[in-house]
Amino acid sequence: MDMGGLQNIVANSAYVSARGSVDGASASAMRDKKFRAKLDLPHITKCMHMKTTVDSAFESMCVKQPIGKRLFQQYLESEATHKNACELWKDMEEYNTAQETDRMQKAQKIVNKFYESQSKNFCGFLEEKAVTRVKEDHKNTRGDLFKESEQLLLKHLEAKALEGFKNSMYFLRYVQFKWLEAQPIDEEWFMDFRVLGKGGFGEVHACQMKATGKLYANKKLDKKRLKKRKGYQGAIVEKRILAKVHSRFIVSLAYAFQTKTNLCLVMTIMNGGDLRFHMYNVDEKNPGFNETRACFYIAQIILGLEHLHQHRIVYRDLKPENVLLDDAGHVRLSDLGLAVELPAGTDKTKGYAGTPGFMAPELIENKEYDYTVDYFTLGVTLYEMISAKGPFRTRGEKVENTEVERRILNDAVVYTDKFSKDCKAICEGLMEKDPVKRLGFKNNECAELKEQPFFKELNWGRLEAGLLPPPFVPNPNTVYAKDIDDVGAFSTIKGVVIDATDNEFYNEFSTGNVPIPWQEEMIETGVFGELNIWAPGGKLPDDLDPNKIPVAKGGACTLL
């Protein structure tokens, strides 16, 4: 065996071993004790100044931020006035992710407990019309049965419980976590494993957060290469969009920092490889997917696209190689380098971007376009999953891009007997050449698309919660990446000088922790539970008591 082969085996072994730390229990065993010690909460006197500056908007703090939501619910449970509302909130969330067979029973229990006026747990803040609708419709087990009630519940809690929370010890604990979240981060916090791939500006490495044990992918953008190839704008756009979106169906950005030579984007690691690899390389004699597997992936992609579009982001580069599998077999959208954010007050954009064979007619014709271009590419992607070839170009076919564009604009798509009636219908709806008639994102959601017969067996609520079992689970002992030698190395960049303007850009880029992914990491790896300790009997813990400042061993007062 040559040294390159040995190096690849060693790198793969370390990487596969680290992949065993994906759950909280295993992750704790992989922690670096020195760095874990740095994740201790400060005494409240050290961060009391943040009480008035911390993000305390209701929806952000109490609904969207995972730690904020947990602490808010703990506060609600501690107050008799709000306990019923909190129980209803949790029961509605449980209903939304329940199996269809269990929904009727759960709905009946919720109705009996919270919607009947004679019940001691009756929630009088619910409007009469909302109560009536749920009572009349609860036996139909609709996924959105409690949607209106949840909106009323949150409106009630914002009006009646928010101020009480802000004056409680639970809010002080939130401030402590926000202080910890805001601490600077750099490369010392991460241990690199093998290189996973190479992009236009640098390499992607598997890495592990030393303090928590969580595995990530570190996209390293070479500073000199970025400057030479005028990549600053694309880098900051991708970073800004990744930090803005938070969906289990889109790769998340957790950290952004710089080293001496690189700008680093630390993101969700997807160990299962990309869909193109699985379509063509796993079973080369039977390429493509069956409809059950394709349906699962397309549904998760739709949820990712819907989230992007609700945040006014057009993806523009959906294709099988940009859809990645995680350890469990769920998929996420990746590589948002070509994405564009529609400014407020603007409904459309222009610009030639995408991959030949996937681009929508209106984009090819240089017309203005909106989110509908992404649903055309979704149709192309579904077609390729089933047919193991594109609708406008056969795999391996030597053809000019102009001819591919002509086919997209003019030719009808041909379907084989691999396509069921429902699958063909949704492909035709997605690859409709007229964007006005195309299936997709309407009225700020994908409701019409989700109701297509192709998805008739799918529980969207459980899918969105990540509770539906995937049709395929990647082998945890397999590395779904090229050998290290095959990834290739970059040549040295010469003649590029980094100046003060460049450094100003790098500092703007390096914003550290991203709040929601960071909080999710703290919860998933068990760190939140280890830090969120309360005194018995509802008393104020010492670390939240301004009169109990810790004393150092030498006798001098100190702040942790």
User: Which residues, at least 6 apart from 122, have a Cβ–Cβ distance to it below 8 Å?
Assistant: 114, 115, 116
359 in Cβ contact with 393 (< 8 Å)? no
481 in Cβ contact with 197 (< 8 Å)? yes
Q: Kindly state the DSSP code that residue 286 receives in the 8-state scheme.
A: S
User: Can you tell me the distance from the alpha carbon of 296 to that of 479, in angstroms, rounded to the nearest whole number?
Assistant: 23
Q: Kindly state the DSSP code that residue 321 receives in the 8-state scheme.
A: G
Closest CA to 382 of 319, 446, 471: 319
Sheet with 202-209, side-by-side order of all strands: 190-198, 202-209, 215-222, 262-268, 253-258, 512-513
Cα angle 508, 514, 519 (rounded to 5 degrees) comes to 160
Single out the catalytic residue among 317, 326, 335, 543: 317
The question of whether 422 is a catalytic residue gets the answer no
253 in Cβ contact with 281 (< 8 Å)? no
* Consecutive H or E run containing 299: helix 291-310
Which residues are bridge partners to 323 per DSSP? Answer: 333
Which residues are bridge partners to 207 per DSSP? Answer: 192, 216
Q: Could you give the 3-state DSSP secondary structure of residue 456?
A: coil
User: Can you tell me the distance from the alpha carbon of 151 to that of 125, in angstroms, rounded to the nearest whole number?
Assistant: 11
What are the structure tokens assigned to 539, written together? 């008393």
Asked whether the CA dihedral 104, 106, 110, 116 is positive or negative, the reply is: positive
Distances in Å between the Cα of 364 and the Cα atoms of 360, 361, 441, 489, 560 are 6, 5, 20, 34, 59
Cα atoms in the 13 Å half-sphere on the side-chain side of 496? 15
Q: What are φ and ψ of residue 264, in 5° steps?
A: -115, 130
Asked whether the CA dihedral 386, 387, 388, 394 is positive or negative, the reply is: negative
Distances in Å between the Cα of 433 and the Cα atoms of 167, 288, 453, 495 are 57, 25, 21, 48
Task: Kindly calculate the radius of gyration of the chain based on its CA atoms and give it in whole angstroms.
Answer: 26
Which residue type, as a one-letter code, is found at position 274? Answer: D
> Which residues carry out catalysis?
317
